[in-house]
Amino acid sequence: MSSTPTDSSDLLVGIVAKVHGLRGELAVEIRTDSPAERFAAGSVLRARRRGAPDTSLTVESSRPHSGRLLVRFAEAPDRTAAEGLRGVQLLVTTAELDPPADPEEFHVHQLEGLRAELPDGTAVGTVREVVLGPGGDLLALAREGRPDALVPFVSEIVPTIDLAGGRVVVDPPEGLLDLDV
């Protein structure tokens, strides 16, 4: 995720990709595990565009379409108004999130800042961010005196997430953390 919101309490839930049709629907690239909740009618999202003040957008309706959501906002009643929202980041704050019902679940933002260690307890870095990509998610590990390491965020390589203990355990294949590129 190359365009990350600057305020650490802000979470990106979508990016407006383009206008769809004549009635102001917008194709939104989803960046949340809970699109039905985040884009439910009546939900208010913060809209952020670089170089402009944040604004609020109220969801009128949303529906799935070709791997994206088509969303109508009350503030963009027609195609012309919707065109002005192209490229906008749609955000919620961490305070707006309900805690996961299952103690084994977590929100992605909760991983940032956790200590990353090998199964034997050797520290390898700190989780800087979770990079959401089309080929799968990655943990970006900040390492002292070395470039960040990107670790595939799959259970075979990241078998343990211990929020209470402030750590994630990584069990990388040989050589993964040796790369300085």
- Round the average pLDDT of the chain to a whole number and report it: 86
| 101, 60 Cβ separation under 8 angstroms | no
Give 134-176 pLDDT, tens digit per residue. Answer: 778 899 999 999 999 999 999 999 999 998 899 999 999 988 8
Give 51-95 pLDDT, tens digit per residue. Answer: 899 999 999 999 999 888 999 999 999 999 999 999 999 998 876
Dist. CA 78–CA 35, nearest whole Å: 23
Q: How confident is residue 106, by pLDDT bands cut at 50, 70 and 90?
A: confident
Is a pLDDT exceeding 80 seen at residue 133?
A: no
Dist. CA 4–CA 131, nearest whole Å: 10
Residue showing tokens 């009635």: 23
Residue showing tokens 């050589």: 175
Dist. CA 93–CA 46, nearest whole Å: 9
Could you tell me the domains of the chain? 10-96 (2.40.30.60), 108-178 (2.30.30.240)
